[in-house]
Amino acid sequence: MKKLTIDFFDRQDVIQIAKELLGKIIVTKFNEGLTTGRIVETEAYLSVDDKASHAFNGRRTARNEHMYAKAGTSYVYICYGMHHLFNVVTNKKDIPDAVLIRAVEPLQGIDIMLKRTGKRKLDNTLTKGPGNVGKALGIDKQHSGLNLLGNQLYIADDGFVADKEITGTSIRIGVEGAGEPSASLPYRFYVKGNKFVSGSPVK
């Protein structure tokens, strides 16, 4: 298993990166121990032109400042006052492209994930949906701005390839309020048939 390098993140096509993140493995090494999960669902957010993006129209605040960081930086924000959502920043510094990690398939450290989430046994709700991803993997707001080339939080490749045959595409979830055309853009990608994928697997 090899850690992704800066060349993976430092590219202009955030949509392609969102697709290629499918199958990659998120690794967290925090105080509780090692946890890993295979990415099975992502959403791409395009810089300042995407009404569904926190950086639409060049918006820049304390909350979204890490979106403007260099490629390979983590951007974690709090949703509904309780869910910590993990995003991967791509492209050049000051171009706020990002990929939201919506679901992972748990691999290592499942006992730690269960403890973090208060669950008694493994089922598809453990890491289904971006809020559960953050909670199970121990990622929260304090980890926003981390360099994903480091050792605490990073993404690795073990050779799994989510090719066109198993990659599904749909509109993004929960962005209806952004209005058109952003609400209808097909920027959500997922591994077909994986039980940890959130939402409806619409084509």
23: which strand partners?
Answer: none
Q: What is the predicted pLDDT for the residue at 203?
A: 41
With left for phi above 0 and alpha for psi between -120 and 50, is residue 117 left, alpha or beta?
alpha
Model pTM score: 0.94
Burial bucket for residue 175 (CB in 10 Å: 0-12, 13-18, 19+): buried
Query: Domain of 95?
Result: 2-191
pLDDT for 47: 87
Domain membership of residue 197 (yes or no) is: no
Inside any domain, residue 57: yes
What pLDDT score was predicted for residue 167? 96
Question: Residue 174: inside a domain, yes or no?
Answer: yes
Number of structural domains the chain divides into = 1
Tokens for 145, please give them.
Answer: 């701005």
| CATH number for the domain harbouring residue 30 | 3.10.300.10
- pLDDT tens digits, the chain, 203 residues: what are they? 999 999 999 999 999 999 999 999 999 999 889 999 999 999 999 988 898 888 897 889 988 999 999 999 999 999 877 899 999 999 999 999 999 999 999 999 999 999 999 999 999 999 999 999 999 999 999 999 999 999 999 999 999 999 989 999 999 998 888 888 889 999 999 999 999 999 765 44
Residue 8 covered by a domain: yes
Is residue 83 in some structural domain?
yes
Residue 198, domain member (yes or no): no
Residue 200 within a domain:
no
Whether omega for the bond prior to residue 181 falls within 30 degrees of 0, making it cis, is yes
Q: Is 117 helix (H, G, I), strand (E, B) or coil?
A: helix
